[in-house]
Amino acid sequence: MKEFSEKVTKSILTGIQPSGVITLGNYIGAIKQMVRMQDEFKSYIFIADMHAITVPQDPVKLHENIRSLVALYLACGIDPDKNIIFIQSENEYHANISWLLECNTPFGELSRMTQFKDKSSKNVNFYAGLFTYPVLMAADILAYDVDYVPVGIDQKQHVELARNIAERFNKKYGDTFKIPDVYITKEGTKVTDLVDPTKKMSKSSENPKGTIRLLDDEASIRKKIMGATTDSDCLIKYDPDNKPGISNLINICVALTGKTASEIEQEFTGKNYGEFKKYVADVVTEEILGIQKRYHEIINSDELDKILDENACVTREIAKNKFMLMKHKMGLYK
Q: Which of 12, 15, 37, 76 binds ligand LTN (CB under 6 A)?
A: 15
Question: Is 322 an interacting residue with respect to ligand LTN (CB under 6 A)?
Answer: no
| Residues near ligand LTN (CB under 6 A), total | 12
Q: Are 149 and 141 in contact (CB under 8 A)?
A: yes
- Residue 13 interacts, among ligand ATP, ligand LTN, none and using kind-specific CB cut-offs from 5 to 8 Å, with ligand LTN
Distance of CA 312 to the CA centre of its chain: 19
Region 167-196 residues binding ligand ATP, contact defined as CB under 6 A: 185, 189-191
Cβ nearer to ligand ATP, comparing 184 with 234: 184
* Rounded least distance, CB 216 to ligand LTN, Å: 22
Cβ nearer to ligand ATP, comparing 7 with 186: 186
Active site annotation includes 223: no
| Per annotation, catalytic residue among 32, 82, 199, 200 | 200
Active site annotation includes 293: no
Q: Which element (helix H / strand E) includes 2?
A: none
- Residue 204 interacts, among ligand LTN, ligand ATP, none and using kind-specific CB cut-offs from 5 to 8 Å, with ligand ATP
Q: Which of 14, 68, 132, 205 binds ligand LTN (CB under 6 A)?
A: 14
Give me the 193-232 binding string for ligand ATP, x by CB under 6 A, dash otherwise: -------xxxxx----------------------------
Of 7-15, 202-210, 225-233, 239-247, the segment contacting ligand LTN by CB under 6 A is 7-15
Region 26-45 residues binding ligand ATP, contact defined as CB under 6 A: 26, 28-30
Of 73-81, 134-142, 208-216, 313-321, the segment contacting ligand LTN by CB under 6 A is 134-142
Cα Dmax for the chain? 78
Task: Give the Cα separation of 71 and 304 in Å (integer).
Answer: 7
Question: Is 19 an interacting residue with respect to ligand ATP (CB under 6 A)?
Answer: yes
- Residue 201 interacts, among ligand LTN, ligand ATP, none and using kind-specific CB cut-offs from 5 to 8 Å, with ligand ATP
Q: Which of 23, 26, 37, 51 binds ligand LTN (CB under 6 A)?
A: 51
Distance of CA 229 to the CA centre of its chain: 26
Q: Which of 12, 21, 25, 284 binds ligand ATP (CB under 6 A)?
A: 25
Q: Which element (helix H / strand E) includes 304?
A: helix 302-329
Task: Give every CB contact of residue 249 below 8 A, 6+ residues apart in sequence.
Answer: 225, 228, 230, 276, 277, 280
Active site annotation includes 320: no
- Residue 132 interacts, among ligand ATP, ligand LTN, none and using kind-specific CB cut-offs from 5 to 8 Å, with none
Q: What is the DSSP letter of 269?
A: T
Q: Which element (helix H / strand E) includes 45?
A: strand 42-47
DSSP 9-40: --EEEEEE--SSSPBHHHIIIIIHHHHHHTTT
Q: Are 82 and 40 in contact (CB under 8 A)?
A: no
Number of other residues whose CB lies within 10 A of the CB of residue 296: 13
Q: Report the DSSP beta bridge partners of residue 16.
A: 47
Q: Over the Cα atoms of the chain, what is R_g?
A: 21
Measure the CA angle with vertex 242, ends 237 and 244; round to 5°.
Answer: 75
268: three-class secondary structure by DSSP: coil
* Rounded least distance, CB 122 to ligand ATP, Å: 12
Task: Give the Cα separation of 216 and 197 in Å (integer).
Answer: 20
Cβ nearer to ligand ATP, comparing 54 with 96: 54
Task: Give the Cα separation of 225 and 273 in Å (integer).
Answer: 11
Active site residues: 119, 200, 203
Where on the chain is the footprint of ligand LTN (CB under 6 A)?
13-15, 17, 48, 51, 137, 140-141, 149, 151, 155
